[in-house]
Structure 1
Amino acid sequence: MRIGILGSGGMAKSLGGAWTAAGHDVMIGGRDEGRAKQAAAGIGAAHGTIEEAARHGQAALVAVPAQAAPDLVRANAHNLTGRTVIDCTNSVVPTAGGLMLDGEPMAGQLAAAAPAAYLVKAFNLCHVSIWTLRPPVFENNPLAVPFCTDHPTATAAVEALIRSIGCTPAPCGGLARAAYLEATAALAIGLWWSGSEPRAAFPVHA
């Protein structure tokens, strides 16, 4: 599959590297051409501008800081028409009461920014290091990747991308439920920061 990655940071390199290793045609697009070129070279992908990456893919991964994502997607909405757009961002802020979501659900904001694209919320629950594992397996079980989307086209695309890196798709409903994935990320990251292990709260029944 052709995948355009909007951004050249940690998620672009780790998840893009997993997809490149799985045989996908990946292009990393960045506002900083030198950084995009360096990130792409490290994983054997192509590089280009944000606009070129948006046009490149049958699927596009939004891998920029959450605060920048809506404007970036809005500016490239015409390039993303008819494409599966994967939102892996987490819009969270530390507060005195713990880690909290910052504003409206990000998946809904991105869907509104590119209404002719097929928006998916996915790949937001794990640290970037998890996507460098080949494959991500824990306690002899492949990692499950929850996702939310309203579109059959996007469902097929994201399930194929998840399976291709050795993980298990975990459909969680339509995009309206993406807010629960974002809240789960805030909870899990807060537990990690406090030194706890989120997985210990979800044991498998014997």
Structure 2
Amino acid sequence: MRIGVLGTGNMADALATHWARAGHEVLIGGRDPHRAARLARGVGGAARAGGLREAAGFGQVVLAALPFGAGEEVVGRLGPALSGTTLLDCSNPVGPGFGLLTARGPSAAERLASAAPEAHVVKAFNLCHEDVWRMRPPVFGGRALSVPLCGDDEESLALARELVRDTGCLPVSAGPLARAALLEAAAALFIGLWVGEGADVQSIVPPLAWASGPAH
């Protein structure tokens, strides 16, 4: 698979490294060509560097590894180059006090979809710190990490599921793109509990067998 990456930060590094190891062609696109080239060398495999527009038009899938706000701006400028692509959004619009910067408006993922209406946006990879994505694979207590996905296009969701599996994780359908706001709100809640309270988020929900009442 050919994968373009918009951004040269930690999430771009962590996810692109998994995908390059899995044999995908990866093009890292950034504003700073030297930083993009340095990241591509670190990713290894069939990774190379280019500009943002080159990455946007590179392949079937484009990862928007950009901060909230910047992602919408960059994608808006690149819109035509993203036509027909699967656009993965891993951003979290979390601000001071662990509140949502989207307030009661559209989610970050929906804003990307509006900025690039001919792309197929899938929300993914937003619930974990980048160091979790650097794990090979992310397994905790013998159980692989699950990655919820929100999107409206089945072909794009199938590609996203493949890329989730390439990180060693399990894809989980979380519904249409309209539900991406719930994933972003979950991230705000989790980050607030982890960072603000030092709480173990996994301890606040019962096992699946008890999700709808006492297990029998």
- Matched position secondary structure for 1:181: helix
Aligned 8 A contact 1:51 1:76 in 2: yes
The residue that corresponds to 2:5 in the other structure is 5
* Match status 1:119 vs 2:121: yes
In 1: Cα distance, 2:51 partner to 2:120 partner: 21
The residue correspondences of 1:38-77 to structure 2 (distance < 5 A) are: 38-44=38-44, 45-77=47-79
Structure 2 distance, partners of 1:156, 1:59, is: 11
Point out the structure with max Rg over C-alpha: 2
RMSD: 1.1
Counterparts of 1:120-139 in structure 2, within 5 Å, are 120-139=122-141
- The question of 1:101 aligning with 2:100 is answered yes
Asked if 1 retains the 8 angstrom alpha-carbon contact of 2:27 and 2:50, the reply is: yes
Alpha-carbon distance in 1 for matches of 2:206, 2:55: 40
* TM superposition shift of 1:20: 1.0
Normalising by the residue count of structure 2, what TM-score does the alignment of the two structures yield? 0.91
In the alignment, the residues of structure 2 paired with residue 197 and residue 21 of structure 1 have an alpha-carbon distance, to the nearest angstrom, of 31
Give how far 1:71 is off. Answer: 1.1
Work out whether residues 120 and 147 of structure 1, in 8 Å CA contact, stay in contact via their aligned partners in 2. Answer: yes
The equivalent of 1:197 in structure 2 is 200
Aligned with residue 177 of structure 1, among 169, 176, 179: 179
Tell me the distance in 2 between the aligned counterparts of 1:148 and 1:136: 21
Task: Give yes or no for the alignment of 1:144 onto 2:143.
Answer: no
Q: Give CA deviations for 1:61-85 in whole Å, capped at 9, x if unaligned.
A: 0011112011111111111100000
Query: % of aligned pairs identical?
Result: 48
For structure 1, list consecutive stretches of 5 or more residues without a partner in the other structure.
none
Cα distance in 2 between the residues matched to 1:191 and 1:115: 35
Aligned twin of 1:162:
164
Q: Give how far 1:197 is off.
A: 1.6
Q: Partner letter of residue 73 of structure 2?
A: D
Check whether the contact 1:147–1:169 (CA below 8 A) recurs between aligned residues: yes
CA distance in 1, matches of 2:12, 2:26: 10
One-letter identity of the residue aligned with 1:198: V
How far does residue 205 in structure 1 lie from its aligned partner after superposition? Answer: 4.7
2:15–2:167 CA contact under 8 A, matched in 1: no
Give the SS at the match of 2:148. strand
Shift of 1:202: 2.5
Give the C-alpha shift of residue 113 in structure 1. 0.6
1:80 aligns with 2:82: yes
Moved more, 116-125 or 188-197: 188-197
Could you tell me whether the CA contact under 8 Å between 1:118 and 1:153 is conserved in 2?
no
Task: Name the counterpart of 2:212.
Answer: none
Deviation at 1:141, TM superposition (A): 1.2
Q: Secondary structure at the match of 1:66?
A: coil
User: 1:25 maps to what in 2?
Assistant: 25
Specify which of 78, 86, 93 is matched with residue 91 of structure 1.
93
Unpaired runs of 5+ residues, structure 2, are 210-216
Question: How many residues are paired up?
Answer: 203
Q: C-alpha distance in 1, partners of 2:208/2:59? A: 40
Query: TM-score, length-normalised on structure 1?
Result: 0.95
The structure with the greater share of residues assigned to strand is 1
SS across alignment from 2:113: helix
